Amino acid sequence: MITIPKAVKEMLEQVRLSGKTNMLDTHAVQRVAYDMEFYRLVLWIEEHREDYFQGCLEGFQVVEDKEERD
């Protein structure tokens, strides 16, 4: 499983629930996320493209987000 910050996972779930794209199409996911103003998700996918794809196939494990504790 791929670890992912809770906030990013929640944004990813909103994109999935929108039904606007195939979740394996990373560029389309980023476009939809951008349109939904989920900029942090756009950046996370850009910086973790391989992890994103692997997580789509194997699943994501949520980790506590350092920014949420501050």
Q: What is the token pair recorded at 40? A: 């942090």
The answer on pLDDT for 20 being more than 90 is yes
Q: What is the pLDDT of residue 70?
A: 38
Cβ atoms within 10 Å, residue 61: 11
pTM assigned to the model: 0.87
Handedness of CA 27, 11, 39, 6 (dihedral sign): negative
pLDDT tens-digit series, residues 25-70: 999 999 999 999 999 999 999 999 999 999 999 999 999 876 554 3
- The one-letter code for the residue type at 44 is W
Q: What is the pLDDT of residue 65?
A: 72
Task: Identify whether the C-beta of residue 53 lies closer than 8 Å to the C-beta of residue 45.
Answer: no
**CB-based contacts of 60: which residues, under 8 Å, 6+ apart?**
1, 2, 3, 4, 9, 12
